[in-house]
Structures are given as C-alpha cells and as structure tokens.
Chains A and B, each alone.
Chain A
C-alpha cells in the first residue's frame, strides 16, 4: 500500500517521464531539421519546418497577430466545424450501435440475424467507401458525417456485443429471482454490467472519428481541420500541414479525456468505467 502522498509524487514522476520523452522527440525533430537528416523510408527531415516555426504558426493559427494572413486566428472556426461533424457522426454511431449491440449480445436470434451483415461490412475500410460516397452523396459535410458514423459504428458495436456476452449469468439470475421483468433485466442489469466494455468501444469509436475526419473533409468543404490540411498540402505549406496534424491530435486527445471524465463525473464512485 502506498500512502496518498507517495502515490501522488509517483504520478508526478510518471508525468515528468512522459513529458521528458515528448521533449526529447521535439529536440530530435529540431536537430534533424537543422542537420538535414535523412532517415529510414527516405524521410527527408530538411523538408520539415522547425518546431519553433510550427509553434509560432500554431499560435498565429489560434490567436492571430503574427502573420495576419487568411490563416491567422481561424483555428477555432475550423475546430468548431470539425467538432460538430465528429459529434454528429459519433453520436449517431453510438445511438445505433449500443442498442443493436445490446440486443445482439443478449439474444441469439438477433445475433444470427445481424452477424453476417456486420461481418461483411466491417472489413470495408472507410477509404474504400469514399468513391461510392462521392457518387451517391457528393463530398461535403453530410458525406463526412456518414463516413465518421460508419467508422465509429463497428468498434462500438463489437465492444458492446462482447461486453453483453461477458455479463456474469449470476447477475441475471440474481435479478430474475428478485422478480425483475425481462425488460428491466436488460435495462437495469445487462446494460450497467456491460457499461465498462461499452465505454471502451465508445473511446475507440471517438478516436476513429477524428482519424476519418481528415478523409471526409478533404473535398468540398470550406471550414474544418481536414479541409485546412488538404488546402495546405495543395499549397505545399508543410508547416500548416504539421500545425493541422497537431491540432487534430490534441482535439482527439482532449475529446477522449472529456468523454472519460464526463462519464466518471456522471457515474461518480460507481465502478462503471474501467480503471486506466
């Protein structure tokens, strides 16, 4: 047993270690660009902007006042537009995948009905959907949301099915012998018992939503981090591409934290989210 104080200082030590590695990566990046290193895969570091340059551009992207061009201070508008699409696509995926997953995990007949379709559609990567979506939806916000829904749907579904199947039969028996109705066995026992697994699926789905965002926003969209990166690539602005990558990375990271801590806030001390 460690006392709270040593526990906290150990956590601080681990955080320092993590930041040390990050600082090391940035340091190597800086040296690599300066020294024009050529790495495996023919990575030409000379083509990269320096970290300091990226930091300045990131600041300008967020708050303006440095370069004062069309790019300055537009981060929030891009981020807002992208966040909206991620939330819509992710929310829709969760709203469809969780109920279906609970029913598939609990009822053999529902599983038999949907499992073949799920296994046929699941291996098709989002990139392979793009040409078809271009033809039947056309690029834009709707296509992006559709792609995100599609990508987030399967990890949420599969995690939900697995979690429901792993609910200890004992808990269902306990509920039944207490006089619980079939509907409430599902709602009051199976769903809470599978919540840790469902939350894991949600986190994977949300992460994928940000991954697919860039693909979806790469055409026919004015505002969005993906369209910003696409435009930067067309203009050969490597520095802006890197800035866009960093912002998406941070947004993905932050949304995961918000999801996790939001749920922890709702559940309080109830053991419904896996310890990380």
Chain B
C-alpha cells in the first residue's frame, strides 16, 4: 500500500497546528494539586513532537487536555485553529492500553469511527481494509482483540485512528506495554506510517531513545505535583538527524545523552 493508495481512500486531512499557550491544570479544585503550569508549545502542521520526562511530570495531563478529555484550569489550547473543548475525530488518540472494543472484530474496530461519522458501510469497509493491510493484519481482520498479542492490538488501535483521518495523532506511551523487540518493530512502522499519513503527532514516552528516533523535536518536561513544582517544559531539543536514524550513531547518542541530562537535572 503506497501513499497514493491511502490518500485516494481517505479525505487525507492535512496535519493540524497545535497551539498551547500558558496552560495550567489543577486536579481536585482549589485545594488540589497543580499537575502542570505555564506550558506553552507551538507545533507545526505535520510535525512529530515527542514529550519526555520523569513519571508524574504531567505528560499525560498535557496529552489528555489536547485530546479534550480534561479541561485546562488556565491557558488555552488550539488545534487546527479551533479551541479544544471536547474530544473529537480531528484528534486521534492511541492509548498505552489500546482501548479497543473487545466485542468487535479487528475490522469492526477499525471502521467504528468511520461508521459513527456517517461514512457509508461499503466505503467504511474499504477504508478499514486498506488500513488493516497497512498495519499488516489482513489475516486477522475477523479476529477479536482478545485473541491478538499486545503488539497486534496496538497496530489495530493505530489503524483505527488513522482510518478516521485525524489532523493530529496523540499517543501516550503507546509502546510502553510491549516487549523490546515488538517495540522496536512498532517504532519502525510508526515512522513509515507517519510519513505516509502526514498528520501532526504528539508522542509521549519515557524512552529518550524512542523520542530521538521518532521525533522532529523532543520536549523535556520536569517537576510534577510530587516534586512540589507543577510540571513544566524545561527545554525543547530539535532533532537534526535526518530521516535515516541509527540508534548507534555517535550524533544520535550525543543527543540522547544531552536530553537525558536535562530530564534528570529535574
């Protein structure tokens, strides 16, 4: 399946710009905890941004606000020029625990969003089939998620959002539950899919290597409620390593080390 095949099947929305301005989030009302504060970020259409940082620094909070699952306490969030107020199909989310519907087959899961948004059954089926092929699961189209391995389930989840043609892809440690081998494989596939789909990607991970391998820019977050300082962005690293990245190359490792130091400096 080539780029052109995919684009003739979908409307092929362009990647959306993501604009976060002075974002703050407090959980639990006035006496609650500040999860993040003063987060500002401008992500270009089609850009791949990875967010790294120690656990509890507010990565998921940021992503969930972008998705529209949580409302910000202060600041603004815009995707594609529109303020985010609720979840919507312009922002596809890939969860660490997949979030597939266990009572639907792979094919039914992948066409679910299309059907919900009124795509006729036949066409939804064609688009779903194409994306199932893209993630290499054609033989498993009629299986149920419970019958698949973790890696295969995450492929289904990725096909499900891509079929829905989002402007922005939000991924929260999507490969965190996978074994090392599957994880590497999924990283390769995601890079390929990202180039074909042309969406903007915000990718949360705690693996710096994964971030450097995948992203155009790596955002480092530190702090967090547990540290007494709200989570915030400390530095943004551009990744100028070209398209063919070698995790063993010297420049790759140098960047990885620089980011790691920033993450652990707190």
Q: A residues near B, CB below 8 A?
A: 168, 170-171, 173-181, 184, 188-189, 192-193, 195, 267, 269-272
Determine the chain B residues whose CB is within 8 A of the CB of A269 once the complex forms: 144
Known A-B contacts A174-B101, A189-B101, A271-B103; A179 and B93 likewise in contact (beta carbons under 8 Å): no
Known A-B contacts A177-B87, A179-B113; A170 and B99 likewise in contact (beta carbons under 8 Å): yes
Closest to A176 in B: B87
B164 contacts partner chain A, Cβ-Cβ < 8 Å: yes
Closest to A267 in B: B103
Determine the chain A residues whose CB is within 8 A of the CB of B102 once the complex forms: 271
Determine the chain B residues whose CB is within 8 A of the CB of A270 once the complex forms: 103-104, 144
Determine the chain A residues whose CB is within 8 A of the CB of B87 once the complex forms: 173, 176-177
Q: Mark B158-182, 1 if CB is under 8 A from A, else 0.
A: 0011001000000000000000000
Determine the chain A residues whose CB is within 8 A of the CB of B103 once the complex forms: 192-193, 195, 267, 270-272
B99 near A179: Cβ-Cβ < 8 Å: no
Chain A proximity of B69: nearest CB distance (Å):
6
- For chain B, the count of residues having a C-beta within 8 Å of the partner chain is 27
Chain A proximity of B81: nearest CB distance (Å):
18
* Interface pairs (26), CB distance under 8 Å: A168-B99, A171-B101, A173-B87, A173-B93, A173-B99, A174-B100, A174-B101, A175-B101, A176-B69, A176-B86, A177-B68, A177-B88, A177-B92, A178-B89, A178-B113, A178-B117, A179-B116, A179-B164, A180-B112, A180-B113, A184-B116, A188-B116, A192-B101, A269-B144, A270-B104, A271-B146
Contact of B99 (CB < 8 Å), options: A174, A181, A192, A267: A174
Task: Tell me the dominant secondary structure on chain B's binding face.
Answer: loop
Determine the chain A residues whose CB is within 8 A of the CB of B97 once the complex forms: 170
B91 contacts partner chain A, Cβ-Cβ < 8 Å: yes
Determine the chain A residues whose CB is within 8 A of the CB of B144 once the complex forms: 269-271
A178 near B95: Cβ-Cβ < 8 Å: no
- A175 to B117 Cα, complex, angstroms: 11
Q: Mark B111-139, 1 if CB is under 8 A from A, else 0.
A: 01100110000000000000000000000
Known A-B contacts A271-B102, A271-B144; A174 and B89 likewise in contact (beta carbons under 8 Å): no
Determine the chain A residues whose CB is within 8 A of the CB of B86 once the complex forms: 176
Chain B proximity of A202: nearest CB distance (Å):
17
- A230 to B104 Cα, complex, angstroms: 49
